[in-house]
Amino acid sequence: MTTYKVGYFVGSLSAKSINRILSKALIRVAPRNLDFREIPIKDLPLYNHDFDADYPPEGTALKEAIAASDAILFVTPEYNRSIPGGLKNAIDWASRPWGTNSFTHKPSAVIGASPGKIGTAVAQQSLRSVLSFCNSPQMNAPEAYIQFTPGLFGEDGEVSDPTTQQFLTDFMSDFETFIERVLTVLPPRR
């Protein structure tokens, strides 16, 4: 069985983010051959084209973390019907300088939690548009918009609702299959 390195982004910069808790739940129910590493984004300066000639260490570390990953998982909230600015900033850093887009042919999946009934549906559509431009093959189904309710997840990622736990388990199993399929056709560039 092949082990796949999965880098994951938590779109919220908050230490108490419900999406950070969701990421723990996803890792907890994921197939054992997926090895997860969070790709931190909180220390990135705002992207500016002027940095392209001399990338700062934070930008270089971000690109290296993505390069070391076989696939990328985005776990993000929705801010004002879109993705958080910090996450968009990280994607901008990773896709630059021109010709060095870190997301090219990198399998990805998107999921998110929100207290609202539509979960993070609009943010996910916005993120999918950005990832399409970045040439990242995306797992488009199943879609996963999680309505967060108090007690649904423990701080350690334990899921209290069996139906939600099964849905997340199936989502991660489908992501594993998607990664394998994409990397069979588009082997990683290292």
Contacts of 63 (CB under 8 A, 6+ apart): 55, 93, 94, 100, 102
d(CA 65, CA 59): 10
Pick the closest to residue 74 from 84, 59, 64 (CA basis).
84
> CB–CB of 34/26 below 8 Å?
no
How high is the pLDDT of residue 106? 97
Kindly give the confidence (pLDDT) of every residue in the chain, 190 residues in length, as a single tens digit, with 9 standing for 90 and above: 899 999 999 999 999 999 999 999 999 999 999 999 999 999 999 999 999 999 999 999 999 999 999 999 999 999 999 999 999 999 999 999 999 999 999 999 999 999 998 889 999 999 999 999 999 999 999 999 999 999 999 999 999 999 999 999 999 999 999 999 999 998 776 5
How high is the pLDDT of residue 1? 82
How high is the pLDDT of residue 71? 98
Burial category of 109 from C-beta neighbours within 10 Å (exposed 0-12, middle 13-18, buried 19 and up) = buried
